[in-house]
Amino acid sequence: MNKDIIEKVKNTVALTYRKAAKLSGEAIDYTKIKLKISELNAKLDDKYAQIGIAVYESDETADIDSICSEIADLKEQINDLNIKLCEFKNQKTCSLCGKNAEKDAEYCPGCGNKF
């Protein structure tokens, strides 16, 4: 059972990184974006902790699928905001690993992905 959960989490994370990102909503400044990313990361940590507790306690009733989809949603929101942040810093975000690179970089410094 635990292996299945770990596999599900891995798949969800991989899928999220590959998702194309779109930012909607009103114009928000750099500081607000950074603050929002911090808030979302805190929520993300909480979701990971929920899965950790469920796995540790072998809680068969825990709705891991639902937590995983919440994680995917949070990661997508963070990714969207990170892209917006890059525009302020004249950078771009790798669609595979999520690392930031200079706008004119040909390859990702994190994973070597060709932009």
Task: Please give the residue ranges that form the binding site for Zn ion (CB under 5 A).
Answer: 94, 96-97, 99, 108, 110-111, 113
Give Cα 68 to chain centroid, integer Å: 12
Q: What span, in angstroms and rounded, lies between the C-alpha atoms of 87 and 92?
A: 7
- Residue 49 burial (CB count, 10 A): 11
Q: What span, in angstroms and rounded, lies between the C-alpha atoms of 41 and 19?
A: 18
Coil, strand or helix at 108 = coil
Cα–Cα distance list, 39 to 28, 46, 50, 80 (Å): 15, 11, 17, 14
Nearer to Zn ion, 97 or 105 (CB): 97
Nearer to Zn ion, 48 or 115 (CB): 115
Q: Find the shortest distance in angstroms from Cβ 111 to Zn ion.
A: 3
Nearer to Zn ion, 3 or 18 (CB): 18
Q: Find the shortest distance in angstroms from Cβ 24 to Zn ion.
A: 24
Q: Find the shortest distance in angstroms from Cβ 112 to Zn ion.
A: 7
Q: Find the shortest distance in angstroms from Cβ 95 to Zn ion.
A: 8
Nearer to Zn ion, 43 or 113 (CB): 113
Q: What span, in angstroms and rounded, lies between the C-alpha atoms of 22 and 84?
A: 9
